[in-house]
């Protein structure tokens, strides 16, 4: 089962600063979560991210997983060392503090597997997964799929997704039930004036038209 895990405001602990650890850090950046990286060495990328305040970098030579005692608030624990036995200890310790755990060298012992993601403007994400059987093939298939998706997903689709978020937030205080809000959001997509404004790249005008539509929707509900 592929899920989009919401880690906003949560604490992710990455143990290991090598290639796999850096890959996991890159995936976490931009997720609006707290990131701690624990490693016995740090390359320029990790040092730079720490200097920018995007991660907390802890240099430590690890012999066991007891350092996780200091991170009982961890929501994710990602074991990415080059020591298979140590990764297993990290997994066990992570579970003991009720965190979701992942071992870079063996997804089978992890709570989840990493999908290969097609990310279009941070709005549309499409996940390609082999359920941990072959990350290499997942990446190869993702490259093929991305070429197709970037052709068929238009700028108007991206702007519609952004407008839907705007419309949902605007409607929530005024339209009380989920069913009615869903109907309103469908009406935004079907509204010819709003869709033409999006195609003409008049996004602020499209937002104004959406608010006008919301006002009409409210008046209709009162009658």
**For residue 14, what are the β-bridge partners?**
37, 78
Q: How many separate domains does the chain show?
A: 3
**This prediction's pTM:** 0.72
Do 98 and 137 fall within a single domain?
no
Q: Specify the pLDDT at position 112.
A: 85
For residue 157, give both structure tokens.
């689709």
Q: Specify the pLDDT at position 60.
A: 92
Do 128 and 170 fall within a single domain?
no
Q: Specify the pLDDT at position 130.
A: 85
Q: Which helix (H) or strand (E) holds 125?
A: strand 124-128
Q: Specify the pLDDT at position 221.
A: 62
Q: Specify the pLDDT at position 1.
A: 64
Q: Which residues of the chain fall below pLDDT 70?
A: 1-2, 221-223
Residue range(s) defining the domain that contains residue 159: 155-222
Do 195 and 162 fall within a single domain?
yes
Q: Specify the pLDDT at position 4.
A: 77
Burial 122-147 (b: 16+ CB within 10 A, else e): eeeebebbbebeebeebeeebeeebe
Location of structure tokens 């906003």: 8
Distance CA 92, CA 110 (A): 10
Burial 96-118 (b: 16+ CB within 10 A, else e): ebebbbbbbbebeebebbbbbeb
Do 89 and 67 fall within a single domain?
yes
**For residue 38, what are the β-bridge partners?**
15, 58
DSSP SS3 for 144: helix
57 within 8 A of 37, measured Cβ to Cβ: yes
Do 41 and 103 fall within a single domain?
yes
Do 120 and 106 fall within a single domain?
no
Distance CA 90, CA 102 (A): 9
Do 140 and 185 fall within a single domain?
no
Q: 10-29: per-residue pLDDT in tens?
A: 999 999 999 999 999 998 99
Q: Specify the pLDDT at position 134.
A: 84
């Amino acid at each position: 089962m592929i899920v989009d895990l919401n880690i906003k405001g949560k604490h992710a602990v990455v143990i290991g600063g090598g290639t796999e650890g850096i890959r996991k850090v890159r995936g976490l950046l931009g997720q609006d979560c707290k990131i701690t990286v624990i490693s016995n060495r740090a390359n320029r990328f990790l040092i730079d991210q720490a200097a920018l305040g995007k991660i907390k970098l802890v240099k430590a030579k690890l012999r066991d997983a007891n350092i996780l005692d200091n991170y009982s608030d961890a929501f994710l624990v990602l074991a990415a060392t080059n020591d298979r036995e140590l990764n297993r200890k990290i997994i066990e310790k992570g579970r003991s503090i009720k965190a979701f755990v992942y071992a870079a060298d063996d997804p089978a012992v992890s709570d989840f597997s990493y999908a290969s993601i097609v990310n279009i403007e941070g709005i549309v994400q499409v996940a390609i997964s082999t359920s941990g059987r072959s990350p290499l093939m997942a990446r190869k298939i993702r490259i093929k799929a991305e070429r197709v998706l970037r052709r068929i997903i238009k700028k108007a689709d991206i702007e519609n997704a952004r407008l839907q978020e705007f419309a949902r937030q605007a409607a929530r205080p005024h339209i009380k039930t989920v069913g009615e809000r869903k109907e309103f959001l469908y009406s935004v997509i079907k509204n010819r004036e709003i869709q033409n404004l999006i195609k003409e790249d008049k996004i602020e005008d499209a937002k104004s038209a959406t608010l006008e539509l919301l006002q009409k929707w409210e008046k209709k509900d009162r009658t």
